[in-house]
Structure 1
Amino acid sequence: MKQISFKSYESTDFESVHVSDLINRLHDPTENLEEEFRYFIGRGQGLTPTGDDILVGILYGHFINSFIAQKHLETLGNLIRKPLTTLVSTRFLTCAIEGLFSSKITRLQHDPSLKSMKSLIKVGSSSGMDTLYGIYMALTKE
């Protein structure tokens, strides 16, 4: 993933400091992260807004190396039942909470090649890149 540049996110609502803050708090069940989740859910343009795609990527990182407290998975699940984002994103997030991801995402676990990453990046106008950014941020958390 070090061959992919995520610098374009630094001038957006999803700069690495903001995403890292969420990720670093997800392990602590004493935290209340509803407001942070609401910041991401539905934020951005398109059929699957950027914030939703980043959350899907973070969830995939969690299912590779578990770090999200059950309480936060439940909070996210409750929030996506509300009309905060698109129907398509709601479905993708629901599946991601259950550990179900598209083959372009799961392929990365078995084939983390640049070719597989580029295949994911090609999904949607920015969805693949947004998801890869979420995965990267989750897997490189401190």
Structure 2
Amino acid sequence: MKSNLLLHTCGDRKTVGRVHSVFARGFNIEFPTQLLYVGGDDAPLSAFGLALPVARLRELLAGVRVGDLVVLKAQQLFIYGHDAVMSIDLAELPTVDLSVPAVACGIDAIAASEVYRQLDALGLERSIGLKVGHGFSDADREHLALLCEADKADFAANSRVVAYFAGRGQGLTPSGDDLLLGFTFALMLFGRYADWNRAVAAGVTPKTTTAISVAYVQAMLMGYVAEHLAALAALIDGGDARAVRQCVDAVTQFGHTSGVDTLFGFFLGLKFLTRSF
């Protein structure tokens, strides 16, 4: 499987990149304008990713190293490993639509949705990465309040919030980035606040945070999100309690705290929308 975002970023022109990072269950390839994540089909599909059968992924992981040359040409991905040249035929992979879904739910109905009720009941703020080991600082609380209450047409206030959270925390996708991603995704679902999106685009950059965080945020601002987030958003329109619970559980299992951080941001975004209605 592959994200439909790759149809726009992986055309027929020859593109040269490098293996950016390697993990136990996948690896990232960095091209000049886009990151590409190669993972297994036993995990949710990344907004900028492709998913291979697990056995095939293991073969690739055994041969790739950070820095290996990668060439993309005519939908063929060639990875020049230390011992062999490995290839992936992107044309053979079915495409999955990971576009930000359209929701019929009105802002006035958000608080009554099963998604909102379950996120509210979870008490996500107790588990997010920003608090690990120390709890919220006064500055954290000040900027969370600004995130939730400031006018999103105020570009200066938006920029101040984004600058505070971008890159804040540890890991490949710092907690502050995940929070911003979740919050922005909630606003995007309801088609509002272009000035907020503009501040996020200007503030989440390679100078402020990791390449992986930037790739997730850029993909979202282009209109694409990870498979589990798209599924959760679709449930706002009437998912039953069991389906919502399963989806929320799947998101929380993503990364060390990334899933929880993203859900917390998403909940704050929904909360902001209900207050601004």
| 1:4 paired residue number | 122
Q: Secondary structure at the match of 1:100?
A: coil
Query: Of 173, 180, 189, which aligns to 1:64?
Result: 189
Which one has a larger percent helix, Structure 1 or Structure 2?
A: 1
Segment of structure 1 superposing worse, 75-84 or 130-139: 75-84
1:76 to 182, 200, 207: 200
* Structure 1 residue 30: Cα displacement: 5.7
Percent identity of paired positions between Structure 1 and Structure 2: 21
User: RMSD in angstroms over aligned alpha carbons?
Assistant: 2.3
Partner of 2:261: 130
1:51 is matched by which residue type in structure 2?
A: G
What's the counterpart of residue 91 of structure 1?
215
- Hey, what's the Cα distance between the residues in 2 that align with 1:34 and 1:114? 34
Q: 2:159 aligns with which of 31, 34, 50?
A: 34
3-state SS of paired residue (2:121): coil
CA distance change for structure 1 residues 4 and 119 in 2, over 3 Å: closer, same or farther? same
Of the two, which has the highest radius of gyration? 2
Q: Tell me if the contact between 1:61 and 1:138 (Cα under 8 Å) persists in the aligned partners.
A: yes
SS at 1:33 equivalent:
helix
Deviation track 1:58-112 (CA, whole Å, cap 9, x = no partner) reads: 11101222342x2332222122234110100010111122221101111112235
Q: 1:116 aligns with which of 242, 247, 252?
A: 247
Matched-pair contact (CA < 8 Å) for 2:155–2:196: no
Structure 1 unmatched runs, 5+: none
How far has the Cα of 1:21 moved from its partner? 1.8
Q: Report which of the two has the higher share of strand.
A: 2
Structure 1 residue matching 2:120: 3-state secondary structure: coil
User: 1:26–1:72: 8 Å Cα contact kept in structure 2?
Assistant: no
CA contact (8 A) 1:34 1:76 kept: yes
| More moved, 77-86 vs 8-17 | 8-17
Residues 26 and 35 of structure 1: is their aligned pair in 2 closer, same or farther, counting only changes over 3 Å? same
Q: Which structure exhibits the higher relative contact order, with contacts defined as CA atoms closer than 8 Å and separated by 6 or more residues?
A: 1
Measured in 1, the distance between the counterparts of 2:232 and 2:142 equals 25
TM-score by length of 2: 0.46
Counterpart of 2:190, as a letter, is: N
| Paired residue secondary structure (1:66) | coil
Distance 1:7 1:41, change over 3 A: closer
Q: What CA distance in whole angstroms lies between the structure 2 residues aligned with 1:22 and 1:64? A: 17
1:21 paired with 2:21, answer no
TM-score norm. by structure 1 comes to: 0.85
User: Would the aligned equivalents of 1:27 and 1:67 in 2 still touch at CA under 8 Å?
Assistant: no
